[in-house]
Chains A and B, each alone.
Chain A
Amino acid sequence: MFLIPDSVGKFFHRMASPPHFYALTEKLMPWLVTLFLLLLLSGLYGGLYLAPPDYQQGDSYRIIYIHVPSAWMSLFIYVVMAVAGAIGLIWHIKLAEIVAISSASVGASFTFIALVTGSLWGKPMWGTWWVWDARLTSELILLFLYLGVIGLYGAIDDKRSASKAIAILALVGVVNIPIIHYSVEWWNTLHQGPTVTKIDKPSIHISMLIPLLLMAMAFKVFYLIAMLQKARVELLQRERTSQWVKKMVLEQMR
Chain B
Amino acid sequence: MTLQTFFAMGGYAFYVWTAYGICFVVLLANILIPIKQRKQFLRQQALKQKRQN
Contact = CB atoms under 8 A, between A and B. Distances in A.
Interface in A239-253: 240, 245-246, 248-250, 252-253
A60 B42 contact: no
Contact-size category for A:
35 or more
Contact-size category for B:
20 to 34
Contact of A109 (B16, B27, B45): B27
Q: Is the interface of B mostly helix, strand, loop or mixed?
A: helix
Contacts, number: 95
B46 to A, nearest CB: 5
Given A59-B12, A62-B9, A233 B41 contact: yes
A230 B34 contact: yes
Contacts of A82: none
Interface in A214-254: 222, 225-226, 229-230, 232-233, 236-237, 240, 245-246, 248-250, 252-253
B10 to A, nearest CB: 4
Interface string B1-37: 1000010011110011011101100110111001101
8 contacts: A59-B12, A62-B12, A63-B16, A105-B30, A106-B30, A121-B19, A226-B30, A236-B41
